[in-house]
Chains A and B, each alone.
Chain A
Amino acid sequence: MSLFSILNLSLFQATVRMSMPVLFAALGGMFCERVGIVNIGLEGIMLNSAFFAVFATYLSGNPWIGLLLGVLSGVGWGLVIAFLTVKYYGNQIVVGTGVNVFGLGFSAFMCQRIWGSRGASESVVGLPLLRIPALERVLGENTVFVYLAFLLIFLSHLFLFSTHWGLRIRAVGESPQSADAAGINVHGYKIVFVVVGSAITSLGGVFLSLAHLNFFAWGMTSGRGFMGLAAMIFGKWTPLGCFLASLLFGFTDALQMRLQALGILPAQIILLFPYVVTILVLSGLVGKAIPPSDYKPYEKR
């Protein structure tokens, strides 16, 4: 197999698949930042939801219940983050760091308790493929996530830029004082959309554990939450931009796997790849990224 033989349709399909976790994290992070909250905890939220999805599937034998519990865990973390940062003015980055540490510790702890190994869980039933023959020709066989992602990009774009809720969200992020003066419930909007963002992010975790691998593995998100943040910045805080940026990360991830299979370079060097790309993207390629908010806590007068 030569280096160029890996550039084919199946690499494209793998790119789309591997961009999913980054995309969900980017979209989730985008909603949080649009209402003025920096959510560093995306990584921890994803890891936790990946665990809960496998846990619920293991107990019930039904991956849809796994999906549900995974997303519910995202909602739960969204509530914790929202209340601590919005209502009690906690430092957003510190709270997020705590969520990340908790995600790593808790999932490993539970994994050890339930399956006797902190490294990996037993295999469970994954989510079934969603058969849409017309799209399968191009995108390959996929679970519900890929189609859900496209729907989500479309809907969140409409929502943010063509509805009055979207306008209010952007106002809350850009200028909470004026939003408050216009009678918008600033804290309410912040809390609701941090929760929405966290729930969307958790889909990325569920994708990893129920559509990509069908088991839980220690630290299986391996920085994709942070790549999601980078993709969000690269995509200038818009759904479409997030999608295109995530495709880039998906590509490096897919390419990394192919290169590992070729075995021409040591694994550690190939595994570096996505992280190097993230840094490059954040430096030269972005240009000046102007965030949609100054992320300061808003105190009601």
Chain B
Amino acid sequence: MSLRDSWRKCLSFPFLSEIVAILIAFLLGSLVLLFTGYPPGQALRALFRGAFGSRNAFGQTLTQATPILFTALSFLVSFRAGIFNIGVEGQFLMGALVAALAGTSIKVLPFPVHLLCALLAGGGGGALWALFPAWLKARFGAHEVITTMMMSYIASYFTSYLVNYPCKAPGWVAQTHPVERSALLPKILPPTQLSFTFVVALAFAFFVFYFLFRTYLGFQIRAVGLNPEAASNRGIPIASHQILAFLLSGFVAGIGGAGEVLGVHGKFVDGFSPGYGWDGIAVSLVGRLHPFGCVFASLLFGLLRAGGMTMTRVTKVPLDLSLIIQALVIVFIAAPRFIRLVFLRRKE
């Protein structure tokens, strides 16, 4: 094999453009650090140590990856049906709130039943929050990018109102009462926050995969997303399939929010989500809009969040560096042709 052939073989590696995009994002992130007078090597070392350096650090990475995996799967389900559900954050928050209410107010149910009820209630809350934009799109053709975005802002103010006034537990912090023990998801790796939620998230990744790629309904939904005209000609009802995908997307996001409340925090704390919903969009794209890709991508973003916290504590580099790197990953992933033509010099 000549050198040229082996280079070409190297370039046909399936995830090359994603990996290059991630590397460029880290490189540009380091440049930002360099120009603003922070030591990039030290910062990145602290970041990776905070993500993998010890058992606890790794547990922290998995904990941070969990909600992001849910939101990524949520976004993925809608995207595959041609819906751009950018308001995952809102559905995530509503799911968390409803789960917290179910977890605190129901007192008679025993452990697994109560937990299941609270989880499903969370999923229902998320789906309900997605129902309105779905209906608006079907009925009026209102573009979901704007309506779901507005619903996210509404969810964040609305939940904040609820935990500041009617549902507030006594004390200084704006939060609900703690969830009953019978509704809590057990912790896996004390003293870290890692809980059984992570396993649920992995199960959901498999569920989403099975649904989209191994069932007839999933196939139809993907057909609607890929080519609405062709799907319509084959007799697939586009509107109802899109609404279904929208609701399912909201359901998954809601379960994610419920998982955070029932597994990690044990209550709904005002502003507990640092934007997991937004991360999910990026993770979904980095994972090439495939459930298993999302698992790996969510680990990457979990690493950025968990490591970012250590980096901020040790080197005083602002946490927002993680956000900058994420944004760069999104931008470069969005234009694979840019990566291929400019950095890999590969013709189409």
Contacts and interface: CB of A to CB of B under 8 A. Distances in A.
Whether A and B are associated in the same complex: the answer reads: yes
Interface string B68-87: 00000000000000001010
Contacts of A229: 145-146
Contact of B334 (A95, A226, A289): A95
Q: Is the interface of B mostly helix, strand, loop or mixed?
A: helix
A147 interface: no
A99 B324 CA distance: 10
Interface string B179-222: 00000000000000000000000000000000000000000000
A89 interface: yes
A266 interface: yes
Nearest to B38: A113
A61 interface: no
A94 interface: yes
B237 interface: no
Contact of B142 (A94, A112, A266, A282): A282
B331 A230 contact: no
A266 B149 contact: no
Interface string A75-93: 0000010011100111101
B330 A268 contact: no
Contact of B141 (A271, A272, A288): A288
Contacts of A85: 335
Contact of B84 (A80, A93, A109, A269): A93
Given A99-B331, A109-B32, A230-B146, A223 B338 contact: no
A241 interface: no
A175 interface: no
Most chain-B Cβ atoms within 10 A of its Cβ — which of A108, A271, A276, A282?
Answer: A282
Contacts of A118: 318, 320
Nearest to A85: B335
Contacts of B153: 222-223, 272, 275
A6 to B, nearest CB: 21
B337 interface: yes
B147 interface: yes
Contact of B318 (A83, A99, A108): A108
Interface string B20-49: 000000000000100011100000000000
Where chain A touches its partner, the secondary structure class is helix
A171 to B, nearest CB: 24
Interface in A213-247: 222-223, 226, 229-230, 233
Nearest to A223: B153
A109 B318 contact: yes
Given A88-B335, A98-B328, A275 B318 contact: no
Contacts of B328: 98, 102
Given A84-B334, A109-B32, A272-B157, A279 B143 contact: no
B136 interface: yes
Interface stretch (B106-114, B225-233, B249-257, B278-286): B278-286
B160 interface: yes
A144 B136 CA distance: 38
A84 B338 contact: yes
A105 interface: yes
B173 interface: no
Interface of A: 40, 80, 83-85, 88-91, 93-95, 97-102, 104-106, 108-110, 112-113, 118, 222-223, 226, 229-230, 233, 266, 268-269, 271-272, 275-276, 278-279, 282-284, 286, 288-289
13 contacts: A40-B86, A90-B334, A95-B334, A97-B86, A98-B330, A104-B323, A230-B146, A233-B143, A269-B157, A275-B150, A279-B132, A279-B151, A284-B140
Given A84-B338, A97-B281, 15 more contacts: A84-B334, A88-B341, A90-B337, A101-B282, A104-B323, A105-B321, A108-B323, A226-B149, A229-B145, A266-B161, A269-B157, A275-B150, A282-B146, A283-B139, A284-B140
Interface of B: 32, 36-38, 84, 86, 132, 136, 139-143, 145-147, 149-151, 153-154, 157-158, 160-161, 164-165, 278, 281-282, 285, 318, 320-324, 326-328, 330-331, 333-338, 341
- By Cβ-Cβ distance, the 3 closest A-B pairs, closest first, are A105-B323, A90-B335, A102-B327
